[in-house]
A = this chain, B = another copy of it.
Amino acid sequence: MQIVHDVHDFEACRSSYLPKIPLALEGNPEHRPVAPPEPVSLEASRCFPHLGDLPSVVFTGGSASSRSALRVGVILSGGPAPGGHNVIGGLFDGLQRAGVAGSLVGFRGGVSGLLTNDVRELEETVVHGYRNTGGFDMIGTGRTRLETEAQFSKALEVARERGLTGLVIVGGDDSNTNACALAERARAAGSPLCVVGVPKTIDGDLRGQRIETSFGFDTACKTYSGIIGNIHRDAVSMRKYWHFIKIMGRSASHIALECALQTHPTLVLISEEISRRELALHDLVDHIADVICYRGNRGENFGSVLIPEGIVEFVPEMRALITELNEALVAHAGELAALETLPHKREFVTGCLSPAPSGLFRRLPREIANQLILDRDPHGNVQVAKIDIQRLFLELVENRLHTMTQRGVYRGTFSPQTHYLGYEGRCAPPSNFDADYAYALGLTSAFLLRDGLSGMMATVRNLARPAAEWEAGGTPLARMMEFNRRHGRDVPVIRKALVNLEGPVFQSLQSQRDHWSRTTRFRYPGPLQYFGPQEICERTTLTLELESRR
């Protein structure tokens, strides 16, 4: 089916943007080790014996010589993040600089394109049409992972057929773990294929010693903050709505935290804090209701509550409930299906749970309880991401306020609105920061492959400094792995970086949030700007600025 791209003036203007290039990535830079290679952990050397003790490397301007032949494939994996097309643009240009123009193919639809050998030739005209655009539509994306030995073999077979010497996998923690495993197997099989990972995720949780941020986080946060700012302006203009705003970000609360620092909401929940303080649902509800009451009794019947999407799994009692529900729903699937009405189903499920979860389940709003029973994934598990969190909080808060009104404690009015910010941020046109950063990651990947460095993640650092000063290089993926014992085997994983409650970002929130609740201190960042004054178009996130001041 035909997909015609009707170019909007915005895109036409944006396509001529030239990403800023770090000095270290000009020309055909040479790599040098950052430090002598440290030995990797015992588990890592067991799991990736052929990758050896690679050092981290950085590039320094120069004129390295190219390898004789390079043919490279690229994969976009998982949910889209603004900047993906610029990674490919940078990769394409880097390969050109290395003297191997016309050597890039994209696998369509993520890893599954690699397994089915489904490619798009990425020629100049193709790549150029996507420069500085959002989305992953140049080659598509998918959620398939390499898991079985058959899949790994098939991947290497396709790489051999296509004569690939390099593969760039752009993705999150899982995809980068996959990249490392494929690099290992390629070496073990004597394949010439080098594999490089690129850190992508709007969630901001792919972060570590040598990864300051993933690309996409900046644009997504700015997109959501702009919208939240507009909602704030509506709140203070109308003075009669409370806005409950759920924000995308699978597990960690980085996005909610950054958006809060940008927009100064009345309230923001941070999952990691809830987990640390072992708060119950009613603690959160009481806190929200208390703030609504405090403000309402002073005539301010408006405000905002930012809620990170992943919160449910961080509330200990909710996590316990979901765990028991998953067991019960699978164990009693037949009996449950036989019950005709929802009240009967709920009653039955309640009976399957131990006292505390059962009590919590009974106290949940009926619609949420139904959702927990009905919306199950193919394995019969509760679909946490689908739970209507903002409605859950809203209904519980409403009940609480009702009680407070009856007791004469609360004298305000409560008109709530709910919002979910998600899909509008994942594919926004990349901010100048993400356009530059992703492009630099693409260039870096090209040079890593040129130098035959496999099992590396492309890393670009000093990101809070001007782009010219960024440091670019590679970090061995094996060094990022932690190992989980599963079914008697050590399984490598890159641990998601949660919000650090001792870090400067959360500390900044903590020092301000009481003011935001008691007075109104909304900020209005406006929509993401690409062409304007430096202080609004070239600044990155407060998260990155605060972290870099440490």
Contacts and interface: CB of A to CB of B under 8 A. Distances in A.
B539 A238 contact: no
A2 B519 contact: yes
- DSSP majority for the A interface? loop
A107 to B, nearest CB: 15
A299 interface: yes
A1 B301 CA distance: 11
Interface stretch (A136-144, A146-154, A165-173, A273-281): A136-144
B11 A524 contact: yes
A455 B123 CA distance: 65
A71 interface: no
A264 interface: yes
A9 interface: yes
B424 A6 contact: no
A338 interface: no
> In the complex, which range does the number of interface residues on chain A fall in?
35 or more
Contacts of A238: 79-80, 136, 141
Given A526-B429, A527-B527, A135 B234 contact: yes
A6 B236 CA distance: 13
A137 B8 contact: no
Interface string A387-429: 0000000000000000000000000000001011001111111
A137 B233 contact: yes
A413 to B, nearest CB: 13
A134 interface: yes
Contacts of A525: 8, 10
Given A2-B519, A231-B423, A532 B535 contact: no
Interface stretch (A221-229, A308-316, A468-476): A221-229
A140 B235 CA distance: 10
Contact of A4 (B141, B237, B521, B536): B521
Nearest to A420: B419
Nearest to A236: B137
B423 A234 contact: yes
Nearest to A532: B531
A262 interface: yes
A298 interface: yes
A10 B536 contact: yes
14 contacts: A3-B521, A4-B520, A4-B521, A12-B535, A13-B535, A79-B238, A80-B233, A135-B234, A234-B427, A428-B526, A429-B527, A526-B530, A527-B529, A529-B532
Interface of A: 1-14, 79-80, 109, 133-137, 140-141, 223, 226-227, 229-231, 233-234, 236-239, 241, 243, 262, 264, 295, 298-300, 417, 419-420, 423-429, 515, 519-533, 535-537, 539
Given A5-B522, A237-B427, 10 more contacts: A5-B521, A8-B229, A135-B234, A135-B236, A223-B527, A227-B424, A233-B428, A234-B426, A419-B424, A429-B524
